[in-house]
Amino acid sequence: MEFDRLVVSFLVDEVVGGFFISVPPGHIACLYDRGRGVLKKVWGPGLHLKIPFWQIAKLFNAQILEYTIKEDFDLNNKEGLGDEPIRTTTKDGYYIQVEGSILFKLDKSKAPELWESIGENFVSKVVRPISRSRIAAVFASLSLDQIKSSRTQIENILTQELSKHFNQKGLICEGAPLSEVKLLHQEKPSQSGENIFAQAGN
């Protein structure tokens, strides 16, 4: 995963001996003041003044990012923007595997709070555990027939559910498009592994 694709960037472009912070387009900056802690103000794109050595800047990527849930995702990078497929059970007892994406971004007004309370490892602490839990819970409340016939509605439910939990942590969910839902076990083993959406003609 490329450095500049992470929501939290670990490098800040400081010039002229640390008196200025250069914030590029699509990013914001927060400041840690050694006397007052993390300041509540957020700095947008442009060149800004700071006190060298006394204030430390942190850049945040404020663009919409894609968190991909797919086969063969490398979980060795705990802060990588993605996860392995999520396995759960439907309301009527079928085992399924879910793949898709979560589109999210930083709530700019809550960036100082996110940095102060959660730190830089927000993917492993917030995005991944909440995504796994809520996606599994939503599909567990649906029958196999509902999943086959209600793809758009399920995506809307997932977006609302993730938004509710992300917002509490300083993130905004922009969407949760599904790419594939596989049936892992059923009464007809020959059909296991097929995409449920494909079966339904969606």
pLDDT tens digits, one per residue of 7-51: 444 444 444 457 888 899 999 999 999 999 999 999 999 999 999
Q: Which tens digits make up the pLDDT trace of 113-165?
A: 999 998 888 899 999 999 999 999 999 999 999 999 999 999 999 999 999 99
Distance, in Å, from the CA atom of 145 to the CA atom of 45, rounded to the nearest integer, reads: 48
Question: 11-25, 87-101, 104-118: lowest mean pLDDT where?
Answer: 11-25
Give bridge partners of residue 173 from the DSSP assignment: 104
Split at pLDDT 50, 70, 90, the class of 52 is confident
Looking at residues 82-110, what average pLDDT do you find?
95
What single-letter DSSP state applies at residue 84? P
Using CA atoms, how far apart are residues 68 and 97, in angstroms rounded to an integer? 14
Q: Which domains are delineated in the chain?
A: 3-61 (no CATH), 65-200 (3.30.479.30)
Could you give the residue ranges of the DSSP H alpha helices within the chain?
Answer: 111-117, 122, 128-140, 144-149, 151-167, 196-200
Q: Which residues pair with 31 in a beta bridge?
A: 57
Strand partners, 60: 8, 28
Give burial (CB, 10 Å; 0-12/13-18/19+) of 98.
Answer: buried
Give the whole-angstrom CA distance, residue 54 versus residue 60.
20
